[in-house]
Amino acid sequence: MHIFLIGERGIGKSLAIRNAVKLLRRTPYGFLTLFQDGDPDSSSLCMVPPSHPDWTDNAHRIALRQDGRMRLLPDRFESLATSLLQEARSHPEGIILMDECGHLEAGLDCFHREVLQCLDGNIPVLGALRMDQSWHAFIKNHPGVRVFPVTMDNRDSLPEKIAKALLQPSLTDH
């Protein structure tokens, strides 16, 4: 089973994911997207492995803020995403994080194929989706995916729900 959290920017999706990972006690692989200086309104966006959240340097930059808008560096994005997701698939004892799938990667077919390979695999995936993004319908509609909406009311209770859902063996395991 795979779980994706969906909600507005800043609602607590990433925090719920981090807290769920602690409960799961599985090594996280995959990617995190973090702002270079921590400010989503003024800084560049980086993609880093979960083991190195401090790698918000120019080598991991996937989008630049210019004239108040994010401008994707598509080759850098696909190179980093492909590498991190392929590495994640080589660790069946872990969990694959995809935090977050947003609006910038809408037209990146190579990235979409990597995501689909993860979803078709047996390693649990835990990710976050931005609201109202039509490109990630294939994620939400995948038969192995459950989508949990994140609200101010449920965000603190989600980590336990996520951990419980991911730790339960699926019906196909019997």
Determine, yes or no, domain membership for 160.
yes
- State the pLDDT at residue 169: 57
C-beta atoms surrounding 42 within 10 Å: 11
What is the number of domains present in the chain? 1
Determine, yes or no, domain membership for 10.
yes
pLDDT values of the chain reduced to their tens digit, one per residue, 174 residues:
999 999 998 899 999 999 999 999 899 999 999 998 877 777 899 999 999 999 999 999 999 988 888 999 999 999 999 999 999 999 999 999 999 998 899 999 999 999 999 999 999 999 999 887 889 999 999 999 999 999 999 999 999 999 999 987 544 333
Radius of gyration of the chain (CA): 15
Domain that holds residue 142: 2-83+94-168
- State the pLDDT at residue 168: 76
Within 8 A by CB and 6+ apart from 149, the residues are 5, 6, 7
Determine, yes or no, domain membership for 103.
yes
Determine, yes or no, domain membership for 16.
yes
pTM of the model as a whole: 0.92
Determine, yes or no, domain membership for 88.
no
